[in-house]
Structure 1
C-alpha cells in the first residue's frame, strides 16, 4: 500500500513536502525525490497526517534503512530549526557530511593505511636527526599504523612519507575501516599535579548528582586544559565518548596532540580542512562509537555519538562559534541544549566568558568554577598604558614601546605585537589631492598589499593592481595611510635586523600546514619577534613570550555596536594572556590615544571579571541582551530604496504588537558590500517565549508576500554581528 510521507528538503521554505512512497521509511532516513526539474536528497519526517489534495510525485529511492541520527540528536535538530526559525530541511542537511548530502552511502570505503615494514620496525631513529620530519613520522609509525587521513590531520610531511617509502621502511596497504567500539581506556601519560582550584573544579564536576552546564572561568595560563583532561578521564574510563568544540581550525591540531599525549584512545577531528571522505569516516566513527574523543569546530555539535558522556566548549566566548550566514546557529547554545537532552555535563571554558554565559552562572543556572591563579610558577603580568597623543610613531610603534622591545630582546626573550589589520596599509592616499582608493562595490577603502603589489577589498574580495598614478589628479605621490601587519613586519625587520620576525595572519598562512609550522616555530623560539592578528590571540602557548603589545584598539572604544566593549575586553585579556605563561614575568603594553577612557582603565586596573560585571549591570539598566531577546532582519538589494521598503513592510507586522521594540530600518555598519545596499531591522523582546511565538506566526506569512521577492532578506535570532 502506498504511503504518503513528509519530506524535509534543503530549500529556503518553512514547510515540508508530501510524496508517495511504496514503504514508510524511518524518520530521519534519506530519500531521493524529484523537486521541480531537479532531483534532491531529502529527509523523511514521517507519515503525512493530512496529505495535501494535489497530485503528488513519488519517491525515487529510499537511501537508508534507519535514521541517521539518534533520538536525542534528532530532538536537538528540530529544536534548532524552531528556535532559529530556519527551514528544517536546511538544518538537517547542514548536520550531514557533504557526501551524505549528495546521496552516497553511510558506510566506509577502502582507504590507504601506512605501516612500517620489518626493516622500518628495526630502524634506529638517531640516524635521521638531520631529517626531523622523517624521524617524527617513523617514530609515530613504529608505534601505530596511520590512515591517509591521519597523515593529513597530524600534518606529517608528504615528502617525508615518500622518502620513508623509497627506503623500504614504510609500506602502503589497502584498508577497509570497520566500526570498533571495543577501545580500552589507557593513560598514555600521567596527569599533572592540580592546584587547589583545579582540583575543586574537577571534583565538583565528578561529584554532581545531576548533569548540568558549568562555566569554567580561568585566567589565561591557569590550566583549564588540565581540568578538561582530568574531567574527561572518568568519562572515558566508563567507555563513554567526549565531544569537544574549539572555535578555530588552528586550535584543533594542538588540542589533538594534548589529548593523544594523555590518552591512548581513538581520537577523530572534524573541520573544514578535511576532505569529504575524511569527514564522513570521522562522522561514522563517532556514530558507531569507535571514536572516543571527537574534536571539531562549530558544526561538530551535530555529530551523532553512540554513547556521549561529556561535551566541552573551549573559548566559549569566541564569535567563531556563531554561524553568520545561512543557518545562523550558535554552537555553544546548542551544546547546552544537547547536553540537557542527553543528560550529560557540558563545560564551557574561557578566560573571558561571554556576558550571556557569565550571567547564567551568576544567576545559578550554570555551575560556576573559577581558576584565579596561573598554573605552575607563572606570575600575573604587569600592565602598561602608553598615551600615543603627540608621540612620534614609526609604523604604529611609539618610542617607549620600541625601548621596551629592545630591553626584552636584549634579555633573550620573545615579544608579540598584536595589530588586527592585515596588509601593508588600510588605505592608499594621494599626497597631493587627498584621493583615497575606494572599492567600487563596497563602502570601504582598498587595503594595500605590498607583497603582491595589489589593492585588496577585505569585504568583497575584489583586487586590482597597485596604481602608479592618482585616479583624480594623475600624481605619482601615492602613499599608504595607516599601518597593517605587512608594514609592521617590515619596520620591525629594519629596527631590529639581528632578530627574525614572524608574521602570522590570514595572508601568511594560506598554504596548507603553514599555520601549524609557524606556531611550532614560535613555540620553539626560532623567531624572537611575533606579529599577528586575532589568530594569535586564541589559546596558543608561547612560553618564551614576555612582552605583548596591542598597537591600536581605539576604534572599539567608540563603536556603534553595543557589543564592541565586550569584544575589546575579551580581546585585550586574551592577547595579554600570551605574556609570561611560563616562570618569567610578563609585560602587557596597550597603546591608545584615550588612556583616560573608563573601559581602558577598568581592564588595566581591575581585570576582565570586574569589567564584565560592571558592563552586565549597564546592560541590565538599558535592557540589552542577555536581559532581552533580539531578532535581526537583514535585507540587501542593488538599490537602497528596495531594501528599505522591504524592511518597512516587515516592520508593519510587528509595530502594533505590545512588548516589542522595533528599531529601523537602519543601514548596516558597512552599508554597501559587493555592490549591494544592506539595511537592518532590529526587534527586541522582553520574553524569549514571546519572540518564538510571534516569529512562528509571522514568518510563514512573510514567505508568501510578493513584496519581499525582489530583495534578499534573512532573519538572525540572537544576532552577534551588526556589520
Structure 2
C-alpha cells in the first residue's frame, strides 16, 4: 500500500465539512492499539485542528505517504457511536445530500464535537434598579439594545444568551454594550441536569382494564418485538383513544426483554405533563430537546450509553440517543412537520426513525389521529402495518363540532355571536375553555384605506404585525420593529387601519367578554422560558385558569379533563398558503386542537369559525373523518405527482444581489434540464419563492419532482450538490423531501 507501509495503521476520519468524502490519516504507533471505529480523534485539516469520527480502519490508501498527516490525538477510551448509529448516519448523509461528517455532527452532543470539557451557559438578567425609565431612553436610538433589555425585563428571570440571540435575530454587540453600561448582568453557570425536572408529579397509573382495540394493537406490535424482527406500524387512533397507553405497554414489555426504547414527540408537545407520564411508569427517563444546554445533553447522552437509563423521550434529535440494544422506536404525532430538520442535515425524524429501527432490528410505531398522507399510503401498500383505534377510552365520545360561517354572522371583534355565547356559558358553569388562533401579535396587517397598500418590512416581503403590548409593529421574518407610522409609507395618507386578529387581540377581547374569568395566553411572545410554560400549564391543570388563549403551542400534548369548549377563532389562516400540503396541514391542526376538549367525564364542544365552511379540509375535520379527507386529497396529489406519488427536491437560491440570484438560478435550471433529460424528473422553475425577500436576501426556487420510487432522485441530488459546491454565491440549499414550500 502507498501510505500504509510506512505509517502502519490508517484511519478514515469523517469531518464536519460539506465535501462528501472521508479523509485518511496515519495513526502513530502509540495510539494504534486502542483505536477503534466510532471513536473521536483530533486531526489537522487546512491548518486547523478539528475533531472527527473514525469511520473505518482501512488496510491501504491511494494517498501518497508523503501527503499523509498523523492523527494528533485519540479523544476517547471507548467508541462514542456504535455500528448502528454509524450506519444510520451514513444513510442520512447519502439520502439527504450532506457529508457523513455533517450527519455525525447532528448526532453528537456539542460537548463531544470539540476538545476540552463542558461548556458553561451564559445567562443574562437586568441589573438591579434597571427598569422602564431606562428602557424608554433606548427606544428611538438603540433599537437592538431596546429589544434585548425589554425581553429581559419581560422574562422575569435569567435567559440563556444564545437563546436570546437566536430569538431576536441579533448579533452579540447590543448585549455586550448593555453589559459594559452595567445595565445587564452576565453570569457563567452549569445548567441543572434536566431542563424538565420541574415536571409536575402527575401519576399515570396502569388502567385496570385495557380496551379491546388497545389489547389488539399491543399484541400485534409485541409479536415482532419478542423475536427481534423489524416492523413498522401505523397506529391511527382518534384523539383520546389511548395511544399513549399502547406506547407505555409496549415499552414495558420491551424493558422486560432487556431492550431499550426511544419515544419521539414534537418539540411543541414535549410538555412537563408528557414527561411525567413516562416517569411515573418507568422511573428513570432521559429527556432530550432543543432547550437543553450542552452540559445537559451530554449528561443524558452518557447515562443512555452506559445503560443507566433505558427509556429516552424527546424531540427530533432524541432519535440519535446511543441506546444499546434498541427494541422500540415510537414517533408520536408522526404527521408533525417539526420532525423535519430545518438546517443541514435536513433529515425527517419520522423517516429516519424507520431507518434506525430497521438497523437495530426493532419495531417502529408511528402514531397519529391524522397520519401524514405519506404514511397512510405506506400502510395502504403494505409497507407499514395499519392498526386502528376508532373509539375513545372509557366510552368517551368525540366532541361535537359546529362550523360557523363567518360570511353570514355578525362579529364582535374576533368572536361570532355563537362563539361568544358559548365562551360565557362554559365559564359560568365553571368549565375551562381553550381558544386557538394561529397568529401571534395583535393585528397581522397595517392597511392604508387610500392606496390599499400594506405596510411591509423593508428587509422582507412580509407584512409588519402590530403588537399592542410593545406598541410597535414587528416583522416575524427578521424581527425588525418600529413604531407604527402615522401616515402611509406609500402615499402619505393618514389614518392607517389595523386588520385581522392575532392571539394578543383574542386575549384582549376575551378579557372584555368575561371580565371575571382568569385568562392566560400561551405563544412564543409570552413564553420566554421553560418555567413560564410549566407555570401556565400547571395553573391550567390545577384549574386556576379558566380560559387559555394560544397559537399551535396549545394544540398538542395537552390532556386536561376540565376543558369542555375549544374555539377555533380562524380556521383559514393556513388554508390558502402556496403549499401543496396546505389543506392537509389545516385538517390536521383542526383535528388536533379539537381533540383537547371532552377528555374527561364532561362532554366536549368545538366551534370552528371559517369563511370557507364547505372546504373539504373543514368539513372532514368537523366530522372527525380522516379517511374521507385522504380519499379527497390523494387523487389530487397523484394527478400532480406530489408525495406520496412522487419525491420532491426543493432548491432555494438566495443572495442580496437579485441579478446574481436570477442568473445562477437560470443557469442551474439549464444544467438540470440538460443532464436529466433522460430521467423521470420534472423540473419546475426557477421562480420567485412565495416569500421573495427575507432578511434582505432575494429568494428563488427550483422544484424537482421524481417518480413514486424516487426514480432519478440520486442523479438529481448529486448534480445539485456538485453545482452548489462550485458556487460560493448565491447560497444554494438542497432540501430532499421538504415539508414546507415557503
TM-score range, shorter chain: 0.7 to 0.9
Please say if residues 637 and 643 of structure 1, whose CA atoms lie closer than 8 Å, have aligned partners that are also in contact.
yes
- Aligned match of 1:675 in 682, 685, 696? 696
Give the whole-Å Cα distance in 2 for the aligned partners of 1:703 and 1:478. Answer: 44
Deviates more, 1:635-644 or 1:324-333: 635-644
Q: Does 1:254 align with 2:273?
A: yes
The one of 552, 556, 569 equivalent to 2:570 is 552
Please point out which of 576, 581, 590 is paired with 1:563: 581
User: How far has the Cα of 1:106 moved from its partner?
Assistant: 10
Partner of 1:167: none
- 1:413-452 aligned within 5 A: 413-430=431-448, 434=452, 436-452=454-470
Residue in 2 that maps onto 1:90: 102
CA offset at residue 103 of structure 1? 2.1
Alpha-carbon distance, 1:390 to partner: 4.8
RMSD over aligned CA atoms reads 2.4
1:76 partnered with 2:88:
yes
User: 2:541 is matched with which residue: 493, 500, 523?
Assistant: 523
1: CA distance between counterparts of 2:602 and 2:645? 41
Matches within 5 A, 1:30-41: 30-41=40-51
Deviation readout 1:610-644 (Å, 9 max, x if unpaired): 21233123323332211111111111011333223
1:420-472 residue CA offsets vs partner (Å, 9 max, x unmatched) = 00111112235566553311110001111111222211111222234455545
CA displacement, residues 192-214 of structure 1 (integer Å, 9 cap, x when unaligned): 42111111111111233533111
Does residue 365 (structure 1) correspond to residue 376 (structure 2)? The answer is no
CA shift for structure 1 position 606: 5.9
1:27 corresponds, among 24, 27, 37, to: 37
3-state SS of 1:198 partner = helix
Aligned to 1:163: none
Is the counterpart of residue 51 in structure 1 residue 62 in structure 2? yes
Q: Does 1:237 align with 2:237?
A: no
Trace 1:296-375 onto structure 2 (pairs within 5 A): 296-375=314-393
Measured against aligned partners, the alpha-carbon deviations of 1:169-220 in whole angstroms (never above 9, x if no partner) come to xxxxxxxxxxxxxxxxxx9944442111111111111233533111111101
Give the Cα–Cα distance (whole angstroms) in 1 for the partners of residues 417 and 710 of structure 2.
Answer: 55
CA distance in 1, matches of 2:244, 2:199: 24
Sort the Cα spacing of 1:473 and 1:249 in 2 relative to 1 into closer, same or farther, 3 A. closer
**C-alpha contact (below 8 Å) 1:31/1:42 kept by paired residues:** yes
Please state if 1:153 is matched with 2:164.
no
Counterpart for residue 555 of structure 2: 537
Aligned to 1:182: none
Give, in angstroms, the shift of residue 348 of structure 1. 0.9
Query: Does the CA contact (< 8 Å) of 1:469 and 1:475 recur in 2?
Result: yes
Could you tell me which runs of 5 or more consecutive residues in structure 1 were left unpaired when the two chains were aligned: 108-146, 158-186
The offset of 1:4, in angstroms, is 4.5
Instruction: Give the CA deviation at 1:291.
Output: 0.5
Partner-residue secondary structure (3-state), 1:299: helix
Q: Does the 8 A contact of 2:274 with 2:557 survive in 1?
A: no
CA–CA distance in 2 between the matches of 1:275 and 1:654?
Answer: 42
What's the CA shift string for 1:586-620, capped at 9, x where partnerless? 11111111222233223324622321233123323
2:213 is aligned with 1:197? yes
Q: Relative to structure 2, which stretch is displaced further, 683-692 or 411-420?
A: 683-692
- Partner of 2:712: helix, strand, or coil? helix
Give the C-alpha shift of residue 703 in structure 1.
4.6
Q: Is the 8 A contact 2:447 2:498 kept in 1?
A: yes
How far off is 1:687 after superposition?
Answer: 4.9
Paired with 2:702 and 2:322, the residues of 1 have a C-alpha distance of 36
Look up the match of 2:180: none
In 1, the alpha carbon distance for the partners of 2:215 and 2:339 equals: 28
In 1, Cα distance between equivalents of 2:427 and 2:207: 34
Deviates more, 1:428-437 or 1:355-364: 428-437
- How far residue 286 of structure 1 moved from its aligned partner, in angstroms, is 0.9
Q: Is the 8 A contact 2:199 2:273 kept in 1?
A: no
- Tell me the CA shift for residue 274 of structure 1: 1.9
Q: 1:63 aligns with which of 60, 65, 75?
A: 75
Deviation string 1:356-408 (CA, Å, 9 cap, x unpaired) is 11111122211211111111242221111111115332332112221222222
Q: Distance in 2 between matches of 1:581 and 1:418?
A: 17
Say if 2:233 is the partner of 1:214.
yes
Question: In the superposition, relative to structure 1, how do residues 587 and 441 fare at CA in structure 2: closer, same or farther (>3 Å)?
Answer: same
Mapped contact 1:654–1:660 kept (Cα < 8 A): no
**Residue 24 of structure 2 aligns with which residue?**
18
Structure 2 residue ranges without an equivalent (≥5): 1-5, 120-189
Q: Provide the rounded CA distance (Å) in 2 between the counterparts of 1:650 and 1:350.
A: 39
Change (3 A) 1:252 1:605: closer
Count of aligned pairs between the two proteins: 652
1:171 aligns with: none
Q: 2:193 & 2:286 partners in 1: Cα distance?
A: 9
The 3-state SS of whatever aligns with 2:251 is helix
> Alpha-carbon deviation of 1:308?
1.5
- 1:7 counterpart residue number: 13
Q: Does the 8 Å contact 2:563/2:596 carry over to 1?
A: yes
Match of 1:401 in 2: 419
Helix, strand or coil for the counterpart of 2:633? Answer: helix
- Name the counterpart of 2:115: 103
Find the aligned partners of 2:406 and 2:118 in 1 and give their Cα distance.
Answer: 59
Contact 1:247 1:320 in 2 (8 A): yes
Matched, 1:685 2:741: no
Q: TM-score, normalised by structure 2?
A: 0.83
Q: Distance in 2 between matches of 1:704 and 1:439?
A: 32
**How does the TM-score come out when normalised to structure 1?**
0.85
How far apart in 2 are the matches of 1:151 and 1:574? 28
Which residue does the alignment assign to 2:681? 660
Greater shift after overlay, 474-483 or 94-103? 474-483
Counterpart-to-counterpart distance in 1, 2:720 and 2:57: 25
Moved more, 424-433 or 487-496: 424-433
